[in-house]
Amino acid sequence: MVITPGFQPGDDGSIPFTRSKIYCKRLTLKSSSALLLSMTNQDPITVETTVNAPIEEVWEYWTTPEHIKQWNNASNDWHTPTATNDLREGGTFTARMEAKDKSAGFDFGGTYTKVLEHKQIDYTMSDGRKVSIEFNDHGGHTHITESFDPESENSLEMQQQGWQAILNNFKKYAESQI
């Protein structure tokens, strides 16, 4: 087991943490059965936009798989061919995101921890990171604020830009449906 310097495992193999928002990522190495723990202690990243559409319609476009497949991509050379959504606390969602030329792709999913219709969606991603999305009604316009825990493989700037691009694509799609 490889552990970030300064952290010593307890007798039961657990690692004592005194700081909040520290996340562990386990990777099984092909060459051995060792686990690699990587630590991140970053503030959440926030992206936001205002959609020129009523909150009821924004909510439908955000939560319905047929709509999700239309907007869930950061650029035109990517798409989401499949999506599922069980929108309730304890429910799960999945989205397959991939390059249109099939050169790359990944599954994105999580479990809902809080669902307040037309107000808030919180979930935990399959890697343990947390996401919170707030929807605020401004009389025919909907402000969306999405905060997420960063991962440790890509720069914070790249993550912010990628999630903002998807949110911008959502805005464009939702406004085109009106």
Check whether residue 100 and residue 21 sit in a common domain.
Answer: no
Mean pLDDT of the region 123-128 = 96
The pLDDT of residue 171 is 98
Q: With cut-offs at 50, 70 and 90, classify the pLDDT of residue 58.
A: very high
The pLDDT of residue 27 is 36
Tell me: the pLDDT tens digits for 59-112?
Answer: 999 999 999 999 999 999 999 999 999 999 999 999 999 999 999 999 999 999
Check whether residue 29 and residue 52 sit in a common domain.
Answer: no
Check whether residue 74 and residue 10 sit in a common domain.
Answer: no
In this structure, what CATH number is given to the domain that contains residue 137? Answer: 3.30.530.20
| Segments forming the whole domain that contains residue 140 | 45-176
Check whether residue 1 and residue 70 sit in a common domain.
Answer: no
The pLDDT of residue 42 is 85
d(CA 77, CA 82) in angstroms, rounded, equals: 16
Its pTM stands at 0.77
The pLDDT of residue 32 is 32
The CA distances from residue 98 to 60, 74, 171, in Å, are 23, 11, 20
d(CA 178, CA 176) in angstroms, rounded, equals: 6
Sign of CA dihedral 150, 153, 157, 162: negative
The pLDDT of residue 41 is 67
Check whether residue 35 and residue 50 sit in a common domain.
Answer: no
Check whether residue 59 and residue 81 sit in a common domain.
Answer: yes
**What tokens does 123 get?**
């979930």
Domain count for the chain, please give it.
2
Check whether residue 30 and residue 4 sit in a common domain.
Answer: yes
Q: Which residues pair with 136 in a beta bridge?
A: 143
